[in-house]
Structures are given as structure tokens and as C-alpha cells.
């Protein structure tokens, strides 16, 4: 089979790393890919948002299966276009992807189908939003309605901070159209975890749970990011909780989307928090999570390509998992998630044993790899225990001789 992976980040590199081990994959392409992906797939200079050219490429190169990593092309209708051209694609349509593309839609959907989530309200007017905050108090969570690369969420500790965030989003247009509507919701207390599943219509096949670390700095300080590290599985989440989450959240969501005329094919991701009243949904994504994918897929023992085929054909892929733990630490460019420099040299990117290096924002230059994004690498390891996986991840990091132009959290998986 000829396979095309759409995207350029660490999630896509992890998918390619796994697919490269499948002996049924004849030719593996990535568009546009990155420096690390180029070592195991043919990278083509087509943006993930240039859907017309991606369709043309898929036809010209007899692509048997396209897998989409990032969220933006999903909302732009890449799956719809491929399906119109009778091209096989593992990705939700733009109608189904709205579950991630609009937090207001997702909240209304969860309310309609009795899926547990935080109390909430949506606003387009700053004064109305501030009146709501005055009644509800703080801490309180404020979210941009649309896609904001994982950075459109603020947990306001005071009413003043909440009001400033409202002005930032609705008045100052910090997130442009993505923040033209905001969702304000109660601040839920508990431990967060993520659960992804392969989904085709009403068939749901859950993966193992993972936990990522959103804040930029140690001890959960600093601004929210796209994720600074992750580990899987999550020892404090019981099988009973996972069964409940699959039945009452993932399954109900898949069936609800089918009922709404938005049948879902792809990866359904639930960002969850374990409260005193059970798990509740913080957010939905409609694709592989990043960086969770980088620590979940290394533990999958199935042939990933066969899994994609089985799911799309309505066959239970019978997912099996290695009896180990996996942890990963994100290396980011200094200044991320705000402004940062690109083109910073990287050296020593050679893992050993059960360690691995996933490229997120890199490109190949004459001198070797250089940075090309905010989140640059994920350095990970598998181990018999979580503590061993974490320890080996940091040991591997110590061998990379990173410059002061990069930073990473030193407490991933240690709580």
C-alpha cells in the first residue's frame, strides 16, 4: 500500500515511525513532514492546508490510504474532498470535526446527549460575560470558541484576571475569529487524563489512557501550551473509570454524532478530569492528541496500518498493548508559547535502547537538524515502571547537549 500522512509535527512523526514498521506499507509519504520524518518517509512540499494539491498528489501517486494528523485541515474539509474524489482517508468530515472546531458546539452537543462536562455559558459580548463572571466568581475557565493551537484556554484565579481575559479575547481579538465567541465554564477540580479511541460510526475501540502536562514550566506554572510532556498508561485511573468513560462518554459521543448526521471516522480524543462525581469532559479533539500520541503508539503491539484498515471496514482491531510504561518530555524553543526563534542548531539526536526522539519542529539544514517550531522535540522512553521510563527519558535528554535556546520541564510524570 502507498500511504500519505498529512502534517508536520511530533504526532505525525510518531505515526510515521509506527507505520514504517508495517511490512505492508510499500511507499510512505508525508506532507509536508519535518526533519525527522524525512529519515523514514518521502516528504513532499505540500502544506497540510493545500487540499487541492494533496488530492492531486494522492491521485498521481496512487495513494491507498491518507491519514490526517492536525486539526486545521479537518475543519477545512479535507476528508470531504478526498471522499468526493473516491480517495480513502482516515479522518472525520468537517461536520464531525466541528466537535473540536467549536467549543460552543461541543458544549451544546454534550448537554443534548447528557455527556458529563462542566457547567458553562457562551458569550460574544464582553459586558455580558463579565456579568456572568461576577455571579459565578473565581477560579473560572475561559476558552476561545475556535482553534487556538492549544493556547486558547485561561484558568483565571481571580475575577480581575477573568475580566482581563474576556477583554483580551473579545475586545482585543487575541485569537482573531477563533475568539469571537468565548465559552466560560466552572473550574473543575481533579486529576486530568486523556483517552483516545479509533472510531468508525458507532464502533469505538479505546486506546490506553495518557496524561499530558499543559503548563510551560515546572509545578504547573506559566501559560498553557500545546503540551510539554506526557506518559501512558495512567496508574491512578481505574479500569472501572475507563469502562465508564468509554460507555458514557466516547460511545455516547459517537452515537450522538451519527444521530446528528455527522458520522465520525477517525480518532476521537476526550480530554477528561476525574472529579468527585466521576470523569467529566474538558474538551474533545477529533484527531490524535499531541503529545499523547508519542507515548501511546510506542506501546501498541498491533500493526497500525492493519488497525486503520480494520476500523474502516467495521472489524474489531483487537488492540493489544505492551506491558510497559512510556514517558516523553517536550523540548521547546526559548520563549514558547509566545515568540521564539527558529533555525537553532540541534546535535546529538541519537537515542539508545528503549529511548526515542520524536521530531516536532525541526528541518534538515546543511549543518544538520535545526529548530523550526515552538515545540521542537519529544524525548521519550519505555520502561517496566513509570518511574523508570521517566528516568530514562531524562537520561537521554542529558546526552543531547542542548543549548540555552531550548528549555523543558523537569517534572514530567513525577507527581
Assess whether 201 and 175 both reside in one domain. Answer: no
In sequence order, what are the beta bridge partners of 257?
A: none
DSSP string, 274-322: EETTEEEEEEEESS--TTHHHHHGGGB-S-HHHHHHHHHTT------B-
Q: What pLDDT, on a 0 to 100 scale, did the predictor assign at position 220?
A: 92
Assess whether 196 and 264 both reside in one domain. Answer: yes
Distance (Å) of CA 219 to CA 36, 338, 410, 414: 30, 19, 9, 10
265: helix, strand or coil? strand
Asked whether residue 299 is domain-assigned, the answer is yes
| Residues 288 and 277 sit within 8 Å (Cβ to Cβ) | no
Q: What pLDDT, on a 0 to 100 scale, did the predictor assign at position 25?
A: 63
**Could you tell me which residues come within 8 angstroms of residue 206 by beta carbon, excluding any fewer than 6 positions away?**
195, 196, 197, 242, 245, 246, 250, 319
Assess whether 65 and 156 both reside in one domain. Answer: no
Locate cell 474489531: which residue? Answer: 316
Asked whether residue 112 is domain-assigned, the answer is no
- What angle is formed at CA 32 by the lines to CA 31 and CA 38, rounded to 5 degrees? 95
Asked whether residue 284 is domain-assigned, the answer is yes
Assess whether 237 and 285 both reside in one domain. Answer: yes
Assess whether 40 and 126 both reside in one domain. Answer: no
Distance (Å) of CA 405 to CA 213, 220, 336, 341, 410: 21, 21, 11, 8, 16
In the listed set 282, 312, 342, which residue is the last one of a domain according to the structure?
Answer: 312
Torsion of CA 392, 232, 289, 277, to 10 degrees: -140
**Total Cβ atoms within 10 A of residue 338:** 9
Count: domains in the chain: 4
Assess whether 161 and 147 both reside in one domain. Answer: yes
CATH number of the domain that residue 250 is part of: 3.30.470.20
Asked whether residue 98 is domain-assigned, the answer is no
Asked whether residue 413 is domain-assigned, the answer is no
Give the pLDDT of the chain (415 residues) as one tens digit per residue: 999 999 999 999 999 999 998 876 679 999 999 999 999 999 999 999 999 999 999 999 999 999 999 999 999 999 999 999 999 999 999 999 999 999 999 999 999 999 999 999 999 999 999 999 999 999 999 999 988 866 788 889 999 999 999 999 999 898 888 889 999 999 999 999 999 999 999 999 999 999 999 999 999 999 888 899 999 999 999 999 999 999 999 999 999 999 999 999 999 999 999 999 999 999 999 999 999 999 999 999 999 999 999 999 999 999 999 999 999 999 999 999 999 999 999 977 766 567 899 999 999 888 789 999 999 999 999 999 999 999 999 999 988 888 999 999 999 998 7
Locate cell 477563533: which residue? Answer: 178
Q: What pLDDT, on a 0 to 100 scale, did the predictor assign at position 150?
A: 65
Q: What pLDDT, on a 0 to 100 scale, did the predictor assign at position 82?
A: 98
Dist CA 130 CA 219 (whole Å) = 30
In the listed set 268, 285, 312, which residue is the last one of a domain according to the structure?
Answer: 312
> Which residue range forms the structural domain that includes residue 164?
119-186
Buried b (16+ CB within 10 A) or exposed e, 305-317: bebbbbbbeeeeb
DSSP string, 3-55: EEEEE-SHHHHHHHHHHTT-TT--EEEEEE--TTGGGTSEE----TT-HHHHH
The widest CA-to-CA distance across the chain, in whole angstroms, is 60
Where are the alpha helices (H) located in 144-224, listed in sequence order? 159-166
In the listed set 256, 288, 312, which residue is the last one of a domain according to the structure?
Answer: 312
Assess whether 340 and 380 both reside in one domain. Answer: yes
Amino acid at each position: 500500500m502507498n500511504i500519505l500522512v498529512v502534517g508536520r509535527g511530533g504526532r505525525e512523526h510518531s505515526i510515521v515511525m509506527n507505520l514504517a514498521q508495517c511490512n505492508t506499507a510499500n511507499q510512505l509519504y508525508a506532507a509536508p513532514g519535518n526533519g525527522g520524518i524525512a529519515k523514514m518517509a518521502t516528504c513532499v512540499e505540500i502544506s497540510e492546508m493545500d487540499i487541492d494539491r494533496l488530492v492531486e498528489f494522492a491521485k498521481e501517486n496512487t495513494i491507498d490510504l491518507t491519514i490526517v494528523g492536525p486539526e486545521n485541515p479537518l475543519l477545512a474539509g479535507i476528508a470531504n474532498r478526498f471522499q468526493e474524489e473516491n480517495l480513502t482517508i482516515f479522518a472525520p468530515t468537517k461536520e464531525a470535526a466541528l466537535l473540536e472546531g467549536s467549543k460552543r458546539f461541543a458544549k451544546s452537543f454534550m448537554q443534548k446527549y447528557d455527556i458529563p462536562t462542566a457547567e458553562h455559558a457562551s458569550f460574544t459580548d464582553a459586558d455580558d460575560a463579565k456579568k456572568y463572571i461576577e455571579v459565578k466568581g473565581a477560579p473560572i475557565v475561559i476558552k476561545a470558541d475556535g482553534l487556538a493551537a492549544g493556547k486558547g484556554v485561561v484558568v483565571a484565579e481571580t475575577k480581575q484576571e477573568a475580566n482581563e481575559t474576556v477583554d483580551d479575547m473579545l475586545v482585543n481579538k487575541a485569537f482573531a475569529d477563533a475568539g469571537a465567541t468565548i465559552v466560560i465554564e466552572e473550574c473543575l477540580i481533579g486529576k486530568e487524563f486523556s483517552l483516545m479511541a479509533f472510531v468508525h460510526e458507532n464502533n469505538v475501540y479505546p486506546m490506553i489512557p495518557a496524561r499530558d502536562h499543559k503548563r510551560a514550566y515546572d509545578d504547573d506554572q506559566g501559560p498553557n501550551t500545546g503540551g510539554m510532556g506526557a506518559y501512558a498508561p495512567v496508574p491512578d485511573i481505574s479500569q472501572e473509570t475507563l469502562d465508564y468513560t468509554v460507555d458514557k462518554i466516547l460511545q455516547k459521543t459517537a452515537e450522538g454524532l451519527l444521530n446528528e448526521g455527522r458520522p465520525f471516522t477517525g480518532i476521537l480524543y476526550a480530554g477528561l478530569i476525574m472529579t468527585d462525581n466521576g470523569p467529566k469532559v474538558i474538551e474533545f479533539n477529533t484527531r490524535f492528541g499531541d503529545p499523547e500520541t508519542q507515548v501511546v503508539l510506542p506501546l501498541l503491539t498491533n500493526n497500525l496500518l492493519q488497525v486503520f484498515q480494520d476500523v474502516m471496514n467495521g472489524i474489531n482491531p483487537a488492540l493489544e498493548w505492551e506491558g510497559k510504561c512510556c514517558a516523553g518530555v517536550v523540548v521547546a524553543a526559548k520563549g514558547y508559547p509566545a515568540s521564539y526563534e527558529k533555525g537553532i542548531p540541534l546535535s546529538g539526536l541519537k537515542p539508545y535502547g528503549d529511548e526515542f526522539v520524536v521530531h516536532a519542529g525541526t528541518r534538515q539544514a546543511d549543518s544538520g537538524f535545526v529548530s523550526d517550531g515552538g515545540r521542537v522535540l519529544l524525548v521519550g522512553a519505555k520502561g517496566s515502571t513509570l518511574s523508570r521510563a521517566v528516568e530514562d527519558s531524562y537520561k537521554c535528554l542529558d546526552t543531547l547537549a542542548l543549548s540555552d535556546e531550548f528549555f523543558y520541564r523537569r517534572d514530567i510524570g513525577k507527581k
